[in-house]
Structure 1
Amino acid sequence: METSNSLTSAWAALASAFGCGLLMGIERERRKGTGPHRALAGVRSFTLAALAGAATAILAMPALLAVGALFMAILGATAYAKDRSGDPGVTTEIALFLAYVIGAMCTQDQLLAAALAVAATGLLAARERLHSFANTWLQPGEVRGGLILAALILIVAPLMPDRPLWGEVLNPQLLVRLLVVLLLIQSLAHLGRRLLQARQALALSALASGFVSSTATIANLGLELRAGRGTLRAQAGGAVLSCVATMLQMLAVAATIQPAWLAQLAAPALASALVAGVYGSWLAHTGLADVSEKPAAQMPADTPMFRLRDALVIAVLLTAVQAGVYGLGLWLGDAGMMTGALLAALADVHSVIAALLAHGAPGTPAAPLVARTLMAAMLVHALSKSGMALASGGPRYALAVAAGVLGHTLVFVLGLWLM
């Protein structure tokens, strides 16, 4: 019985290796070419390489498996050295060696081996698209941004200690995660501006700026209106659309700081964002009716995906205000926490959100006070934005902006109060 089971497993491994090698070989055969300059291997070579890997693994002779791998490596090196096509590459040689490894893997995990074969074949088939993406579509600023993001996620974050340095606040790894979230949001907005039409790109620009600072966005759009750039409705629409970012970033901060609050904040925040999005889009659409539906202007090649300094300032500010509100709470109790939160809300509400949510999770004794203070802080912040609109763009601009800002804030407050 044991021999029968072993034989069945061996046949299954060989069949799996045959399919994986055939899949990769068909793709390579279509690119192999003809004549004296044709590539190293095609459908038969890849299938045989995968079968060889499976057969040597089934024999359970590590030395023979190593000899087979060495043979594949020598074969690839020899083919590369004899290449006279004028455009040498090592893709086929590496793929042939990988087919041998996948064949051997079929004796251990056939599903993983098949998935690897499909992924490798897809990578081989996407040659032109990948080359075009890397050499033409991808811009230098985006390459630098991707490297910075990868370094933060894969190098910096794992090295940061994951514990508060003071009470319940000042967690270094949490600071890095906040920074990564902010940079990812800015990067997605950057890609959106590249891909959308000119009219949508104008609205998206205001929305993306809101992830940095909605208050600053409102002030900047008001100043542009005073200077005669843009229309009242277009500028006001962009200002209100920046508030959508405020609500979405609230959820991002909650997911990072205290995920337990997401269940209570998600519905009010999304409803609030929907109100701001609909009203802001309507204003922007009517204000930009004369803008033609042409592609957005080409960005300079060095345009960065994100503003690292701005995101770092916001992440540090979130952490600093969180520590300040925590300290006031220790010093003056609940009254100190509420006072600090309301004062901070005059300038930036995300830091208040981070500080308040860290103070207590839903179901704890502090949760009701956290919810009430958050609602009060959102109202204070809405009044602050409306005042900034009045100071920067004048009464008509302030009236159009305040209707959206106060409206979406009241939706959030009412929704959170009913939760």
Structure 2
Amino acid sequence: MSATTPHNPMFNAETAAMGLPADLSGAVAVLAVALGCGLLIGIERERRKGSGPHRAFAGLRTFALTCVAGALAALTQLTGLVVTGAALVAALAAMAYWRDRSDDPGATTEVALLLTYLIGVLCAWSLPLAAATAVGLTGLLAGRQRLHHFASHWLSPGEVRDGIMLAALVLMALPLVPNRPLWGPVLNPHVIVQLVALLLGVQALAHLSRRLLQARHAVALSALASGFVSSTATIATLGLAARERPADVRLLAGGGLLSCVSTQLQLLLVAAAVQPAWLAWLWAPALAAAALALLWGGWMVRGAPAGPAGAQQPPDEDRMFSLWGAAGVAALLSGIQVAVHALERWLGATGLLLGATLAALADLHASLAAVFASSPPQAGGTAVWAVMLALSVHAGSKSVTAGFAGGWRYLLALAPGLWAHTALCVAGVYWMAHR
């Protein structure tokens, strides 16, 4: 089968050899979808085209005919005809660009015309994919002003730099890293880089969300954002602020509880990156606990001033994430995985429980990542009890931290919601393991 042989069900082996469609209705469907895609893109370009002698190149009819031409070329099953058509459309677009005498001769319409031809060709392979591509192209063309404003004015230089770095990590580094553990089930370079990418992506998303809503609920948004890095550190920071401003204890305790929402969501991210089989056991308990912490914390924060009262603002607002911070967290996760795996090999099931408990005192996600990497979920297995124990121990660690950092009033305001959402998560894990 040639490179241009459609994989559409309307073609079979005999008719493909003859270069004819299996039935006329299938060919009509391909041409109809191609016409619709061309009209959709053409309508958007017609609105930008203008009128008079200085109107732009190509409009509604040109785009519609180009897309149908691509579909007809693909239906003939002639590779040379498809390539010749693409070359003619490209030459036409190049000539139109060369003859453009406007002050801002962008090449968007010319490139869009060539893509429209290829969408027509794609209609013979997959109608849904062709239609989705046409909708995406139309949306991209229609969002010109907003995209230009977003790129030129809204994004800061530091955010652009971080975005390029994150894209390079995900699109270039991650596919090249070997995907095999170096010792037992742990120290997988691909998993480590994937964890770094997840941490950076979550930090970037939280940063951009906070910028969009920076004028409202600064305490809640800052707590949610910093909770993805360390909920314990967030609770400690807000506790220190509570000592300085006792009147804001309820507000700051609510922010500390909201940071636990990030803990539960990041728990699912770690499970997805390290051992996806755990997601079937954790998604419901983690989301239920996150919802409870969100509602409880939001109720406590309600009525908070719009300014950054009690919120810890990062020193460099235009940076979306901390690469060294994310790398440090990933290194901590990997190191604790190695330690827990070593204890498990030394002491068996007892070592797994002991290692998970000790690791949870410092970092819940590192502890659970080690448990996830060590064994898949099993009903009544040691790993499930290790997860439940780690969640409980980490809640106790947060409570002690809150008491030392913010005093007893801060602890009393935070502890009910903290232990309620933890108990809900632990009970959910137990139920999922024994249902």
Counterparts of residues 41-120 of structure 1 (less than 5 Å): 41-58=58-75, 62-120=79-137
Deviations 1:335-368 (A, max 9, x none): 333222222222111111111222222237xx53
Counterparts of residues 189-338 of structure 1 (less than 5 Å): 189-196=206-213, 198-228=215-245, 231-285=248-302, 288=304, 290-291=305-306, 303-338=318-353
Instruction: Quote the offset at 1:51 in angstroms.
Output: 4.1
> For residues 351 and 342 of structure 1, what CA distance do their matches in structure 2 show?
11
Q: Cα distance 1:103–1:219, how it changes in 2: closer, same or farther (>3 A)?
A: closer
Deviations 1:239-295 (A, max 9, x none): 122122222222222222222233333333333333333332232226x2x5589xx
TM-score (norm 1): 0.86
Q: Cα distance 1:332–1:139, how it changes in 2: closer, same or farther (>3 A)?
A: same
Deviations 1:276-321 (A, max 9, x none): 33332232226x2x5589xx9x999961222222222111111110
Q: Equivalent of 1:21, from 38, 41, 52?
A: 38
1:363 paired with 2:384, answer: no
Instruction: Quote the offset at 1:205 in angstroms.
Output: 0.9
> For residues 359 and 150 of structure 1, what CA distance do their matches in structure 2 show?
30
Moved more, 394-403 or 55-64: 55-64
> For residues 239 and 153 of structure 1, what CA distance do their matches in structure 2 show?
31
Instruction: Quote the offset at 1:63 in angstroms.
Output: 4.4
Q: Cα distance 1:225–1:321, how it changes in 2: closer, same or farther (>3 A)?
A: same
Letter in 1 for 2:191: L
> For residues 106 and 390 of structure 1, what CA distance do their matches in structure 2 show?
64
The answer (yes or no) to whether the contact 1:141–1:301 under 8 Å persists in 2 is no
> For residues 59 and 268 of structure 1, what CA distance do their matches in structure 2 show?
55
Q: Cα distance 1:387–1:47, how it changes in 2: closer, same or farther (>3 A)?
A: closer
Instruction: Quote the offset at 1:5 in angstroms.
Output: 5.3
The answer (yes or no) to whether the contact 2:63–2:113 under 8 Å persists in 1 is yes
The answer (yes or no) to whether the contact 2:93–2:110 under 8 Å persists in 1 is yes
Q: Cα distance 1:400–1:7, how it changes in 2: closer, same or farther (>3 A)?
A: closer
Counterparts of residues 368-383 of structure 1 (less than 5 Å): 368-383=381-396
Instruction: Quote the offset at 1:110 in angstroms.
Output: 4.5
Instruction: Quote the offset at 1:152 in angstroms.
Output: 2.0
RMSD, aligned CA: 3.2
Instruction: Quote the offset at 1:323 in angstroms.
Output: 0.8
1:343 paired with 2:358, answer: yes
> For residues 410 and 118 of structure 1, what CA distance do their matches in structure 2 show?
46
> For residues 265 and 26 of structure 2, what CA distance do their matches in structure 1 show?
52
Letter in 1 for 2:386: T
TM-score (norm 2): 0.84
Instruction: Quote the offset at 1:151 in angstroms.
Output: 1.8
Deviations 1:195-238 (A, max 9, x none): 23644332121122111111111111122223348711111111
Give the 3-state SS of the residue equivalent to 1:183 in structure 2. helix
Letter in 1 for 2:393: V
Moved more, 221-230 or 382-391: 221-230
Letter in 1 for 2:156: Q
> For residues 265 and 66 of structure 1, what CA distance do their matches in structure 2 show?
51
Letter in 1 for 2:377: P
**Aligned pairs, number:** 413
Q: Cα distance 1:86–1:399, how it changes in 2: closer, same or farther (>3 A)?
A: same
Q: Cα distance 1:76–1:401, how it changes in 2: closer, same or farther (>3 A)?
A: same
> For residues 87 and 368 of structure 2, what CA distance do their matches in structure 1 show?
59
The answer (yes or no) to whether the contact 1:225–1:393 under 8 Å persists in 2 is yes
| Aligned-pair identity (%) | 53
The equivalent of 2:9 in structure 1 is none
The equivalent of 1:129 in structure 2 is 146
Letter in 2 for 1:391: F
1:400 paired with 2:413, answer: yes
The answer (yes or no) to whether the contact 2:338–2:370 under 8 Å persists in 1 is yes
Q: Cα distance 1:392–1:16, how it changes in 2: closer, same or farther (>3 A)?
A: closer
Give the 3-state SS of the residue equivalent to 1:232 in structure 2. helix
Q: Cα distance 1:96–1:259, how it changes in 2: closer, same or farther (>3 A)?
A: closer
The equivalent of 1:352 in structure 2 is 367
Moved more, 210-219 or 199-208: 199-208
Q: Cα distance 1:227–1:16, how it changes in 2: closer, same or farther (>3 A)?
A: closer
> For residues 246 and 56 of structure 1, what CA distance do their matches in structure 2 show?
54
> For residues 72 and 119 of structure 1, what CA distance do their matches in structure 2 show?
21
